[in-house]
Structure 1
Amino acid sequence: MAEFDSANPPRIKLKKKEALWLYSLTDLTFILMAFFALMLSMSKPDQQQFDAVASAVQPQNPASEKATNLTVIAEDLERVIKQLKLEEDARVQIDANGLLLEFSENLVFSSGSAQTGAAFATTTEKILRILSRTPDRYQVIVEGHTDDLPIQSRQFKSNWELSSARGIALLKTLQQRGLNENRMRVLAVAHTQPKVPIEGKTGQSLKDARKANRRVVIRLD
């Protein structure tokens, strides 16, 4: 009987047809990896969940300040809004895209105008101060929204121009309170993203919907 050489074990030769499934498995694995990489690159992280994780991993020092995240900012804004009794004209919300602060038109602008009202700055001073002190990691996006009625103005030829001008006016107000302009963006939305749909509405219901759609939104993203 021939002795077995442990240093040179016999090789098992696979027939070509028997190894074809390995090529298919390799191709499938590569395709799955590419698919999940694409999905990850297209996905947007939930800012609220990110803040929660970031707060959890911070050093637990009792003497340190409370971590400033979207939840804390929202609580501060809601408290000030309640103090100023602006619940009907200002609203705070947190969603997967970040924090949303909404001002009704009558709090900020007069109809058809992009000039902030005289009382706006003093009325909302505390709110604007909170926004100006938010961490630099948040981008500040100012959105101008109008209703669906075509504007009749010598200054503005369309609702697009009006919504853009309103966004810029509010951006300048924030900039005057120390917000870094490198963090700010203006988004003109005009009538394309109504808060309340107007289809099928008439009379007072239609007027109320249009009134709700005329607004300015500040997002922390």
Structure 2
Amino acid sequence: MMKLKRRADSSDDAGSWLTTYSDLVTNLLCFFVLLFSMSVVDSQKFESLSRALRSSFISRPGGGGSTLHHNMGKRILTVNFVNPDDTGKKVVDNERYIETAEGIILDDQEKIREEKYALVKEQLEQDFSELGISDLVDVIEGKDYILVRLNAQILFKPGSAEILEDGKNTLNVLADSLRAIDNQIIVEGHTDTVPINTPLFPTNWELSTKRATNVVLYLVNDLGIDPARLTASGCGEYKPIADNNTIEGRNKNRRIEFMIIK
């Protein structure tokens, strides 16, 4: 009877050990699945992960900082889990980890953005070269803009604001690149200092403004560019880029500019 009892006790102990081992394996599996799901952040998971990280690490005493940006693509992110009661150095370290991750993502986004504008500039230069008007066009990239400068003779006859057919072909090519981006565009008309005094254009203000307006209307009505992206402005002769005392300088000053705001 004693031996039977010992066997029963031994059997009960074995079953208890197996149950504990099974629970341990299950918990480990869940833990590693959790780590994997949090280590690879895609565009759909990033926002929810951002909120969770900020809530866990930053919203404690001494925390702070801005929210993470969404739609940043895939990124490997190392998370340092801490006890909810921990403060001080661990909280600061966790904030640094998150700020580092944000910095990496923002840097990548800025690189992609700059590459996009570089491609737009390159395409415009190639298109104008194929049209044979490179000597009458400048494409200039600044920190906050891309400037496309067209000599007025491409688009208009002297003293006129009606767009020439060759000018429309040039605008058609320009519009293809403008459709590839969604930035705001300021269209400016500029003249030289030679006075004009006609019923339609009493001064160069009216001429430059009407030219810019007609270009915008053509882009909107004929080429389908979103009017909310466009602004027409006339500057008259008051923003020269060359010397108005020479024929060459006056020719350069008669122009239409497209400032694409980054």
Q: TM-score range by the shorter chain?
A: 0.5 to 0.7
Distance 1:114 1:55, change over 3 A: same
Counterpart of 1:197 in 2: which secondary structure? coil
Distance 1:82 1:52, change over 3 A: farther
How much is the aligned-residue C-alpha RMSD, in angstroms?
A: 2.2
The list of structure 1 runs, each at least 4 consecutive aligned residues, that deviate by more than 4 angstroms after superposition, is none
Gaps spanning 5+ residues in structure 2: where?
1-105
Distance 1:166 1:135, change over 3 A: same
1:117-159 Cα deviation digits (max 9, x unpaired): 122212442222222x1322x1110000000111122211111
Distance 1:57 1:103 in 2: 28
Alignment TM-score, normalising by the size of structure 2? 0.55
Equivalences for 1:52-131 in 2 at 5 Å? 54-56=109-111, 69-131=116-178
1:174-209 Cα deviation digits (max 9, x unpaired): 1121210001101211111101033xx4xxxx1111
Q: Which residue of 2 aligns with 1:152?
A: 197
Deviation at 1:83, TM superposition (A): 1.4
Counterpart of 1:69 in 2: which secondary structure? helix
Distance 1:210 1:146 in 2: 8
Contact 1:159 1:190 in 2 (8 A): yes
Q: Structure with the greater relative contact order (CA < 8 A, sep ≥ 6): 1 or 2?
A: 1
Deviation at 1:69, TM superposition (A): 2.6
Within the candidate set 209, 214, 218, 2:254 is matched to 214
**Bigger radius of gyration, 1 or 2?**
2
Is 2:226 aligned against 1:180? yes
Within the candidate set 194, 203, 206, 2:240 is matched to 194
Distance 1:91 1:100 in 2: 8
Distance 2:112 2:255 in 1: 37
The count of aligned residue pairs is 155
| Structure 1 range deviating more: 157-166 or 81-90 | 81-90
Contact 1:68 1:135 in 2 (8 A): no
Distance 2:184 2:177 in 1: 14
Distance 1:113 1:219 in 2: 22
1:50-74 Cα deviation digits (max 9, x unpaired): x98534378xxxxxxxx87321110
Identical counterparts, % of pairs: 25
- Structure having the larger proportion of residues in helix: 2
